[in-house]
Chain A
């Protein structure tokens, strides 16, 4: 049971994957794809196993207070922290969160003591505030700031001070009217998106009762509902649903992405860049031309390293050419000889696994 079943599995799947390469018709072409997608799910399971054993090892080290146990706490804490943030805030880079633009609007007009619904004064105040933010950022910095970064900074500066972006402030009165016009009271901030969709749902019911949907495919029904909803909304509020939605939502970068950008990435990149120092010290203390082969290796490396940087150009135009030649002829020849060897090795190793001569999957995993 513990040995024969795995042997059978390996044999059957191995032969099936070889045969599907040669026989196109059903079920073989479908077989290849479904089996490969299963492997992806199992690979995910294996990854989960890896993480589970990582957690187990570290928790055990903490439990037994073995030497260096506080560092295991760091590992477990950062693993759980990163995973929690990812599961709660989702793995996509950005998320939309609701913005209470009417409240921001009232705060803004009081601070600038503009009368309600006086659009020109509101616009003038906003333009003036944007201008001095732009001036303030440009003076403090000598490098030309990209327009995109500047626009984002103005939005975030407004967001911090007034609670919504300049564009949202301008359309705030419209949002306020829309909120007041809705039958159900919209006290909570994220009610606006739901209210807009409620309008769409009412259009759907109306068309359904009017019997507009007979003989239409699902796609056509959707298109009809969408079309009438867009017209109705534009007529009623002078803006499309998307703009109204835009006026009441703000895009924010998820903390999961923050963890990736400021924790994971710096740690990973720095760990690998340590190797640059070790290569340098090995270059001085260990790389010796003891044998003709090692000498040839160092000479080839010498030309490739020089040829691949602008310094090589600087020395002579032939240096990059020689580096290019080493890369395209001797390197290709050598790599090709190794690749053919590896290919034959892969064929024989795969063959031995499929026929059960070699059983690496039996190693470990209990008796």
Chain B
């Protein structure tokens, strides 16, 4: 462990990082922020081993979860537009929620699901849940249990959400755009029975909903293909109804062209989008708590890139 050699070699860089941390501290940045600048700036330079960086990232994620910094978020237009559109829809409109993700992307999309569903339930909208991914079905049932059974039905027992009248679960169907295409023509053709095996004809709520045309808003929770793009192709381009959605942070950039072209009404990008919607709905939950940890981890990675590049140029200039 030639820490001494590293100290002497990169002394100016280490000093610079410590000065930066001190300046930030003086400017009144939250304690965790300037500590992160100092530690992330200096420690990897001294011990450039991979496991040290793993340890640092773990620390910078866990610390803000234990001691939150409570930085509040700004609301981006794409989230605000979707919130306003759901707010405009008068009570009783039908929202199609398509759960096209799986546990791997649950931390990003489940908070968005809860925030959106709380908003719909508060507005009295009827919800049809379906899934283009096999594991979406369990997530739909879990979301209903958390938002409707454990929260709404308990808080207002006189006006509960009843299965079959206010919300319906449709089972998983493989085929992606093939399924979305067929749902545009007729729900029953694709789903002879709902998730619990009751024929669609017997469910009172589905009587008025023959196909996508009767849906007022399609909300796609997407972590890849099949996902929101399929719903844009079918629901927005072909049937012409409003489409909004939540996408994982990695797939969110691909949907901005659709936002700009008006094919997509709104988009929650990753945990940040979910925390914005939580702020709009007024129920801070895991997304908001996660954002502090997200901020710190991003800061750490930015510092790693800067420090890594400075060392790279110092080495190259030394040799050249």
Contact = CB atoms under 8 A, between A and B. Distances in A.
B54 interface: yes
Interface residues of A, number: 59
B308 A36 contact: no
Interface in A279-299: 279-281, 283-289, 298
28 contacts: A36-B182, A37-B182, A37-B190, A44-B174, A148-B149, A266-B103, A272-B105, A276-B57, A277-B58, A280-B53, A280-B304, A281-B53, A284-B304, A285-B48, A287-B309, A288-B308, A289-B309, A298-B309, A306-B302, A308-B298, A309-B272, A310-B292, A311-B33, A311-B299, A313-B73, A328-B256, A331-B256, A335-B257
Given A308-B272, A311-B298, 18 more contacts: A29-B185, A33-B181, A33-B189, A39-B178, A148-B149, A268-B103, A269-B106, A276-B57, A280-B301, A281-B53, A284-B44, A286-B308, A287-B309, A309-B294, A310-B71, A311-B296, A313-B74, A328-B259
A302 to B, nearest CB: 6
Contacts of A336: 257
Given A39-B175, A39-B178, A284-B48, A306 B196 contact: no
A311 B76 CA distance: 15
B302 A32 contact: no
A146 to B, nearest CB: 5
Contacts of A32: 181
Q: What size tier do the contact residues of chain B reach?
A: 35 or more
B56 A264 contact: no
A276 B300 CA distance: 12
Interface of A: 29, 32-33, 36-37, 39-40, 43-44, 47, 92-93, 146-149, 151, 257, 260-261, 264-266, 268-269, 271-272, 276-277, 279-281, 283-289, 298, 302, 305-306, 308-311, 313-314, 317, 320, 324, 327-328, 331-332, 335-336, 339
A289 B307 CA distance: 12
A147 B155 contact: yes
Contacts of B93: none
Nearest to B153: A148
Contacts of B135: 260, 264
Interface in B237-270: 249, 253-254, 256-257, 259-260, 269-270
Nearest to B300: A280
A277 B56 CA distance: 9
A331 B257 CA distance: 8
Interface of B: 29, 33, 44, 48, 50, 53-54, 56-58, 61, 71-74, 76-77, 102-107, 135, 138, 141-142, 149-151, 153-155, 173-175, 178-179, 181-182, 185, 189-190, 195-196, 249, 253-254, 256-257, 259-260, 269-270, 272, 291-292, 294-302, 304-305, 307-309, 312
Contacts of A147: 154-155
B104 A271 contact: yes
A36 B175 contact: yes
Interface of A is mostly: helix
A260 B73 contact: no
Given A44-B174, A305-B301, A339-B257, A314 B181 contact: no
**A148, A266, A268, A335 — most chain B CB neighbours (10 Å):** A148
Contacts of B56: 280
B103 A298 contact: no
B291 A309 contact: yes
